[in-house]
Structure 1
Amino acid sequence: MSKHRPVIAVVDDDPRLLESLEDLLESAGYTTCRFSSAGSLIACGLSGLDLLITDIGMPGMDGFELRDLVKKARPELPVFLITGRHEIADQVRAKGISGFFRKPFNGQALLAAVANALRYGEMEGNHES
């Protein structure tokens, strides 16, 4: 059984948040890919990703639209939504996600949720080669 570092894509239009999330996730042993927009993630593709963390409020395609697109292409991929706008925190629209966090969020709580989502994905049995 080979051990690989899970790859987490982070999408946010705030460069400071991208950097801090990258530092947090890499300190926990994850590999990160940062994207400043949903379009830049889509252009790079979704293969090789183990989890996605995306901001909701972004110009162009928002986090809900990105989540919907990702769930059509890779329904098994865990998706976490984050937002600084509490009025966007619509629980009905947030259904079908692995995690939901309001900024500022507790980094340890995020890491615990990421670990749980990745562990659940392993238990479901990844049958990809």
Structure 2
Amino acid sequence: MSKGRAVIAVVDDDPRLIESLEDLLESAGYQARFFSSAHSLLAGGFSDVDLLITDIGIPDIDGFELRNLALKARPDLPVFLITGRHEMADQSRAQGIRGLFRKPFDGQVLLADVGDALRDRDMERDNEN
């Protein structure tokens, strides 16, 4: 949880998506950290992450499992799921997820939702204090 720019962790094995998300997130003032697998993110933990964006179809630990691990470690961590596989986005375990994006997605909509999720999280923290 950063004191300055919000840290967005992105887990995806598609280098083209990583490159475009890096440009998008950093142009919006976020600090972006990229991981090609869930294991590489898990090795460092979630303590300095403000929001997680993960592909559903990553190998070994899929995006749903990674979301569950993240929320177990940090219940307040906003997690967004992205997928290029439309059938995965329609699965019952994807229903009702606030941050579910099907590739290709509108970058401006993603940024708006990221901003909303971070503001909502900060408001909840303020209300707890």
Does TM-score exceed 0.5, indicating one fold? yes
Which one has the bigger helix percentage? Answer: 2
AA at the equivalent of 2:36: S
Structure 2: gaps (5+ residues)? none
Tell me which residue corresponds to 2:5: 5
Q: Is the 8 A contact 1:98 1:117 kept in 2?
A: no
Query: Moved runs in structure 1, 4+ residues, more than 6 A?
Result: none
Q: Provide the TM-score with structure 2 as the length reference.
A: 0.91
Tell me which residue corresponds to 2:48: 48
Identity, % of aligned positions: 71
RMSD: 1.6
Question: Number of matched residues?
Answer: 125
Q: Provide the TM-score with structure 1 as the length reference.
A: 0.91
The residue correspondences of 1:3-42 to structure 2 (distance < 5 A) are: 4-42=4-42
CA distances 1:28-50 after superposition (whole Å, capped 9, x unpaired)? 00001100000100011111110
Tell me which residue corresponds to 2:110: 110
Distance 1:20 1:49 in 2: 20
Structure 1: gaps (5+ residues)? none
- Other structure's SS at 1:125 match: helix
Distance 1:125 1:72 in 2: 17
CA distances 1:18-68 after superposition (whole Å, capped 9, x unpaired)? 111111000000001100000100011111110000000011111001001
